[in-house]
Structure 1
Amino acid sequence: MSFTFITAARITMPRKGFDAWLGTPLPPASTISNPASMFEGWYWSSREASSTWTSAATTPRDLLAGRLTDPTTLTVLRHRDGALEAYLWTVGHSGAWEGPAQQLLLMLAGAGAFKDDDSSDHVLFWEDAAGALPTRNEDALLALLAVDRHGARFIGRRPLADLLAGLSPVEEAFAELAEVLEESLDEGAPQPLDPTYVDLNA
């Protein structure tokens, strides 16, 4: 049995912060203050979160570059209009998806240290095979992570309209990437991902 998950975020930071984040090792697991609360308040609220949160000895650049050769993932990562934007689509098999999902959440939690203001941004995590934002059913969200310069924490119910609106441009970029990839597969000759969608060249 497999699930298809999306991890998406828009975290405000200057371009120099984005560049530095790409090359900085993932933060310790303690960056997220309440990992056991991952699912609280959302669709899987009765599910107990894994207690195996670990920080891999890798950088965001290396972690994301590894996804580019993995056919079970699609990755949009860029700096646009003063913010890191991420839209990470991942197929996860039963019993083996939670660790990789937590690693992506921890990676984005670490981006908060590179913000240049005291605002709080958010990382959304949900299940959707089509790769679309949960605009029609906000209850489908699995976890919501608040991120600031001092760390990150999972939070429960809150209105999502503003967060989903902010993610709309990167969702559109993801849809364009998926369409290009689908066309290339139909032609029998998969093409490399467009580097304008994966901004790892800092």
Structure 2
Amino acid sequence: MLATRMPMSRTGFEAWLDAPLPGLDIIENPAAMWTGWVDDAGDPDWDLADLAGYPAAVTAIREARGSTPRRLLAARAAGGSTVARHHDGALELYLYDYHADTYGTQTSLLMLAGAGRHAEAGAATPVLHWGGDVYPDLPLGGDQPLAVLLVDRAGARFVDRYPVDALIERLRPVEAVFLAAGEAAGGEGDWAAEGLVDPLIRDGAG
């Protein structure tokens, strides 16, 4: 799962939606994705070497990385479990996957690394990636993130430590919106995108 609340004007948000995803070089240290967190010894496999025997999967991932945030988020939102909107002067994103998908997560991290180019100037914004196929909440009971990516206008970098409690509090409002939508859906898959997914994303164009 991924979440962030990134200060950004509406104009910047709309520009980001249709901007191609950046290349991996936007992240200063992609190999450090897991460093310092739960899966510290993990290999992030950004170059898809572990999928060499599955060319169709590699093609699909590369196609996704060549897309735009609007298209990627529209596809996600069609399946529910997504908050992706401009709200109160910020890009708010909360993406939940019922089954871990490292490569999909990496595509989303590249998408958010690119969002920094359109964000308000100032301190770098953290993007939280955590596990938990069982529950959709932010990390609970001392659970550690899988990664924290700091994003600003100059690029992005993974950090091996971050004040997690403060980060979780920063993301509580976005989490509350997500959890309320899930409760309203009642487990029936009837995810009401109104107010949760920006209309420019829902139309899927661009």
Matched, 1:35 2:30: yes
Match for residue 53 of structure 2? none
Match for residue 19 of structure 1? 14
2:83 to 76, 80, 83: 76
Secondary structure (helix, strand or coil) at the match of 1:78 reads: strand
Provide the alpha-carbon RMSD of the alignment: 1.8
2:74 to 65, 69, 77: 65
Give the total of aligned pairs. 186
Secondary structure (helix, strand or coil) at the match of 2:149 reads: strand
Q: 1:135 to 1:91 in 2, by over 3 A?
A: closer
Deviation at 1:135, TM superposition (A): 4.5
Contact kept? 1:134, 1:141, Cα under 8 Å:
yes
- CA displacement 1:154-200 (0-9 Å, x = unmatched): 001121222111111110000011112225x2xxxx53533210014
- CA displacement 1:25-56 (0-9 Å, x = unmatched): 11111111111100000011011221327572
- CA displacement 1:114-147 (0-9 Å, x = unmatched): 023132101000012211111531x421000000
Secondary structure (helix, strand or coil) at the match of 1:11 reads: strand
Matched, 1:182 2:186: yes
The one-letter code matched in structure 2 to 1:145 is L
Alpha-carbon distance in 2 for matches of 1:191, 1:175: 14
Alpha-carbon distance in 2 for matches of 1:120, 1:135: 24
Match for residue 195 of structure 1? 194
- In the alignment, structure 1 segments of 5+ residues that lack a partner are 1-5
Alpha-carbon distance in 1 for matches of 2:15, 2:166: 27
Secondary structure (helix, strand or coil) at the match of 1:132 reads: coil
More helix by share: 2
Contact kept? 1:50, 1:98, Cα under 8 Å:
no
TM-score between both structures, scaled by the size of structure 2: 0.83
Q: 1:150 to 1:136 in 2, by over 3 A?
A: same
Secondary structure (helix, strand or coil) at the match of 1:45 reads: coil
> In percent, how many aligned pairs have the same letter?
39
